């Protein structure tokens, strides 16, 4: 079993390409053959009509659970579908054991609808600290990676979030209204002011990638499931961005955060979004 962060860093130096290969193979084997060919019996609802799961989600997570566990002996996998089946699985994120945090198909609604805006998200963490992440959009053949302290990259090119252009409305992706309560909608509505241009989010992982690329200025999300946020948060941070919860504290992948929270291209933007969200009282 991996015992120290230094040996995890050595693992990443030696095996990042193997992790990438596993993610690409999971997509090629279990996700893309079902893209735009899903039959009705391959799509189910979990908690409601907007919370979908497909055979691609389940089988890709099973594939990654097996391969990632073999790559890093002693590690555990916390996947979205595994946690849905057994919520206690989530507790592993808080422990000393290296944890793979997996969302096999982030943006399942887009996937089911035949839109290319979905991705596979994988992050590696220990003691609740993010160490590395992979964001793979198979229908667009894009792979973004980040390793703590080593920067963020998209298809081998370094990502720099930069700062928003002066004089332009801030572009902010917010929690989709289909997934928010009335109280959450009221808080997110504080972003509907002059100088800010909010819009509903698509795949969370791809919205984080847009922030890291400087194509989106910030996010404002009202849920904290680690599989949706872990990979993207590290990507944004390593691209020079930052993140804050509504109370001004950093977001913790272990949970218990004050919500909503924001990830932004720069600190000034994060504080502006956070102050607007906090103004709802």
User: Which residues sit in the known binding site for Mg(2+)?
Assistant: 80, 103, 106, 228
Q: How far is CA 79 from CA 35, 62, 87, 120, 226, in A?
A: 21, 9, 10, 11, 9
Structure tokens at 139: 């229908």
As a 3-state breakdown, the chain gives helix, strand, coil percent values, each rounded to 5, of 40, 25, 30
Query: Strand 196-200 to strand 242-245: parallel, antiparallel, or no bridges (unpaired)?
Result: unpaired
8 forms bridges with which residues in the sheet?
none
Contacts of residue 167, Cβ cutoff 8 Å, sequence gap at least 6: none
Annotated binding site: 80, 103, 106, 228
Helix axes 226-238, 204-213, angle to 10 degrees: 10
Query: Strand 99-106 to strand 76-79: parallel, antiparallel, or no bridges (unpaired)?
Result: parallel
């Amino acid at each position: 079993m991996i015992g120290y962060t230094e040996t995890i860093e050595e693992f990443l130096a030696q095996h990042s390409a193997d992790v990438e290969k596993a993610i690409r193979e999971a997509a090629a084997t279990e996700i893309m053959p079902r893209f735009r060919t899903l039959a009705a019996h391959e799509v189910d609802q979990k908690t409601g009509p907007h919370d979908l799961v497909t055979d691609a989600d389940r089988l890709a997570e099973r594939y990654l659970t097996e391969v990632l566990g073999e790559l890093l002996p002693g590690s555990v996998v916390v996947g979205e579908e595994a946690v849905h089946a057994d919520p206690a699985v989530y507790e592993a994120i808080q422990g000393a054991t290296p944890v793979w945090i997996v969302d096999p198909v982030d943006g399942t609604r887009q996937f089911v609808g035949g839109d290319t805006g979905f991705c596979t998200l994988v992050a590696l963490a220990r003691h609740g600290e993010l160490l590395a992440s992979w964001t793979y959009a198979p229908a667009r053949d894009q792979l973004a990676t980040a390793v703590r302290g080593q920067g963020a990259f998209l298809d081998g090119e370094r990502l720099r979030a930069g700062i928003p252009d002066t004089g332009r409305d801030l572009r902010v992706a917010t929690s989709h209204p289909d997934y928010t309560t009335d109280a959450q909608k009221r808080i997110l509505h504080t972003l509907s002011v002059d100088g800010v241009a909010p819009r509903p989010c698509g795949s969370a992982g791809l919205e984080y990638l847009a922030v890291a690329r400087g194509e989106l200025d910030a996010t404002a999300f009202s849920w904290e499931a680690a599989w949706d946020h872990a990979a993207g948060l590290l990507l944004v941070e390593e691209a020079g961005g930052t993140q804050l919860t509504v109370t001004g504290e950093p977001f913790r992948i272990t949970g218990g955060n004050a919500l909503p929270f924001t990830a932004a291209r720069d600190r000034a933007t994060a504080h502006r979004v956070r102050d607007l969200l906090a103004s709802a009282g």
